[in-house]
Amino acid sequence: MKQGTRPIFDAHLDLGWSAVSFNRDLTRTVAQIREQEAGMTDEPSRGKNTLTFSELKNAGVTICLATLLARAGPDQPKKTGYKRTDLDFAAPSIAYAQAHAQLAYYKLMEEQGHMLPIRTAGELLQYWEQSTTTTNMPLAYILSMEGADPIVSPGQVEKWWNLGLRAVGPAHYGRSQYAYGTHVEGPLSSAGVELLKEFERFGMIMDVTHLCDTSMKQALEIFSGRVLASHHNCRALVPNDRQISDEQIKLLIQREAVIGVALDAWMMYPGWVRGQTSPKVVSIAAVADHVDHVCQIAGNTKHSAIGSDLDGGFGTEQTPHDLNTITDLQKLNGILAARGYKDSDIDAIFHGNWLRFFSSALPK
């Protein structure tokens, strides 16, 4: 880590999806992947990626939540074809297989020394202590799942827990077999209620990110375990059902949750139109706006953190204009300092809040 770089705990990185579905070798450099993707047109983010393992190290990202991401909801839109980067599958069994492909990538990266799994609070604290004195540590990761469709039935939670899964969001975009997510509205299914009971039994953390208002309200009422919002911006600043409302922020604060700010530009600028709005309209300062909003509601800096979502299906065509790679997250340091945040507050937002949360939420 470069001198002056503040360590970052990033609570949302779709590394497996980026590798397995976008065909990106994360052991290479950002520049090499951009060169490889030059001229590709299947996705708007081609040639505009922001991270690899080396860039994460340069950025000071020492720990992350690495996701498994695949959908198999009952309301899939009709399509004229299928792309490798698509997230929707015809059945939970196929979503299960896709999630295992991403998990297999993480396991190989462990064997090659690029990643290190964190399953317990003890492992987390041991790694953090070691990382403060040792260089060239692998990227530590806590395994999470964005949308629970790869869990084919609630009875499968134990199997996933034993594989190292520690945090799950019941839905992503649309309706999963368990809950309603972004851009739709409705309650948990009976299977969703049973899923949350299994989460409680094993100590699985529930991620409320992407849950619609109705499903989130119901989930928070019936689930008494630990909750977080891995990558969720503020609805008061950018109105959209994907964002989190002030009332929801207050409920999460009551539950001792932490809320990660995301860098997807459409979540940072009101009225953003994908493929049309220029990144020039938004800067990394907007990240600080969302961080500050959560801090003002909380009355302290204990509940705001980072869940960047970088390379989560978008690239620099849909990030702040002053972000070229994930290393530019370090600019948030100076922005927050200029707004009066103390070093200890910035440390809390960059890594301390997630460390506190997971040191109490993970099994001992």
Q: How many domains does the chain have?
A: 1
Domain assignment present for 135: yes
Query: Which CATH number does the domain housing residue 52 bear?
Result: 3.20.20.140
Give the tens place of pLDDT for each residue, 285-324.
999 999 999 999 999 999 999 999 999 999 999 999 999 9
Residue 33 domain flag = yes
256 is a domain residue: yes
Q: What is the pLDDT of residues 237-260, one digit of tens each?
A: 999 999 999 999 999 999 999 999
The answer to which of 68-77, 141-150, 177-186, 236-245 has the lowest mean pLDDT is 68-77
Tell me, yes or no, whether 1 lies in a domain: no
How confident is the model at residue 2, as a pLDDT? 67
For residue 140, the enclosing domain spans 8-361
How do residues 78-133 score in pLDDT, each as one tens digit? 889 999 999 999 999 999 999 999 999 999 999 999 999 999 999 999 999 999 88
Structure tokens at 199: 């989460």
Residues 6+ apart with CB under 8 A from 26: 15, 18, 19, 51, 52, 53, 109, 114
Find out whether 139 and 114 touch, Cβ atoms under 8 Å.
Answer: yes
Residue 277: inside a domain: yes
| 2, part of any domain | no
